[in-house]
Amino acid sequence: MKRILLLCLSMMLSYGAMAQETSAAEKRAKTEKAKKEKVAKEKKAKAKKEAEVAKEKEEAVAKKEAAKAKVAKEKTTAKAKVADKKAKETKETADKIKADKAKSEKAKAAAKAKADKAKENSASATGSAKAAAGKAKAAGNKAEAKAKTTATKTEAKAKAKKKTPAEIKEDVKETPASKAAEKKVADKVTGTYNGKKVFTGPRGGRYYINKNGNKTYISDDK
C-alpha cells in the first residue's frame, strides 16, 4: 500500500514538474513571438516612414520640375507674343510704305499724264514754228559749211606757193620722217603728185607729206 502511495506521489510530482516546464516554455514562446512581432512591426513602420519620405521627396522634385516647366512655358509664351507683336508692327509698317509708294506713283502718273497732254498741246501749237526754224537752221549750216570749204581751199592755195622744180624734187624725197608721218595720216588718198601720195582733208584741202614729215598743200589744178 505504501508503494502505491509513493508511486502516486511520484507521478503527481512528475506531472507538476512537467506542467511547470510546459508553462515556462509557453511563456518563452509567447515572449519570443511578441518580441518578433514587435521587431516586425517596427520594421514595417520604418519601411512605411521611409516610403513616405521617398514619396514626399519625389513629390517635391516633381513640383519643382513642374514649376520650372511652367516658368519656361511662360517665358516662351511671352517671347512668342513679343515676336508676334513685332511681326505685326513690321507688316503694318511695310503695308503703310507700300500704300504710300502706290499713292505716290499714282500721283506721279497723273502728273506725267497731265504734263504729256500739255506738252502735246504745246507741240501741236508750236510744231510749225519749230519746223520753220529747223529748215532755217539747216540752210544756215549748209551755207556755213560751203563758206568753210571755200575758205579752206583758199587757204590751201595760199599755202601752196610756187616752187622751182629743184625745190619740188628735194621736197618730195622719201625719208624715214615722211614715211612715218604718212602712216599716221587718217585722211583719204585722192591722187599722186610727183610720185607722192596726195591726201584730201575734211575741208577739201589737198596735200602731201614732205621730206620733213610735214604737210605741203597743193592747188586743185595739180
Query: From CA 218, how far away is CA 183, in angstroms rounded?
Result: 20
pLDDT at 219: 82
Phi, psi for 160 (deg, rounded to 5): -80, 70
Count of residues in the chain: 222
**Which has the closest alpha carbon to 180: 207, 201, 209?**
209
Quote the distance between the C-alpha of residue 201 and its chain's center.
57
**Burial status of residue 208 (CB atoms within 10 A of its CB: 0-12, 13-18, 19 or more):** buried
Tell me the whole-structure pTM to 2 decimals.
0.31
C-alpha span between 197 and 189 (Å, rounded)? 6
CB 217 within 8 A of CB 165: no
* pLDDT at residue 86 in the model: 85
Helix (H) or strand (E) holding 94: helix 2-159
Parts of the chain with a pLDDT under 50: none
pLDDT of residue 73: 93
Q: What does the domain layout of the chain look like in residue ranges?
A: 30-128, 133-218
CA-angle at 31, arms to 29 and 37, nearest 5°: 100
pLDDT for the residue numbered 189: 94
pLDDT for 125 equals 59
Report which residue type is found at 146.
Answer: K
